[in-house]
Structure 1
Amino acid sequence: MAAARQYDVHEAKTHFSRILQQVETGEEVVISRAGEPIAKVVPLRPGADRTDYGVLRGRIRIAEDFDGLPDDIADAFGMRG
């Protein structure tokens, strides 16, 4: 993997659009101040496409009292009486 491109703060402000274009293509960009790295701009991971709905059907059991609260907590939230 190639080293991340590095820009100082002034360059980053001047060339922000260019940096975003680089990141959109998968590059990572480091922003530095006085030669010291202070931040890294990285691409967001694309959202996962779910094609496996129902894969856990029959493998998970939800207890009958799942939504029930202990009396003291229900009282604290005014959920009884």
Structure 2
Amino acid sequence: MNTKQVNMHEAKSQLSQLGELAWKGEKVVIAKAGKPYLDLLPHREGRAKRTPGRLKGQIWVADDFDQTPHEVIAEFEGQE
């Protein structure tokens, strides 16, 4: 993948061309004061709708999963 970096002023005057490049898969970076500032990305339709429960029966959680020993909590809180 090629990367094209242009300054803000160039981007304003070449937006259509830069949009075409981004749409074709080229990475387009818009710089401000010579430093990368924005990435120009093509719009993609949202992801497919999430289906809750599709991993049901494939994940196991221990019965004591949310029972944290007091010593561990004390360590995280900086207590002795």
Instruction: Work out the CA distance in 1 between the residues paired with 2:39 and 2:46.
Output: 21
CA deviation map 1:30-49 (0-9, x unaligned): 00011011110123446678
Change (3 A) 1:25 1:46: farther
2:37 counterpart residue number: 38
Number of residue pairs aligned between Structure 1 and Structure 2? 54
- Give the alignment of 1:11-26 within 5 angstroms: 11-26=10-25
TM-score (norm 2): 0.51
Unaligned runs of 5+ in 1: 50-55, 61-81
CA-based RMSD of the aligned residues comes to 2.6
Q: What is the percent sequence identity of the aligned residues? A: 35
TM-score (norm 1): 0.51
Instruction: Work out the CA distance in 1 between the residues paired with 2:18 and 2:2.
Output: 15
Partner of 2:5: helix, strand, or coil?
strand
Unaligned runs of 5+ in 2: 58-80
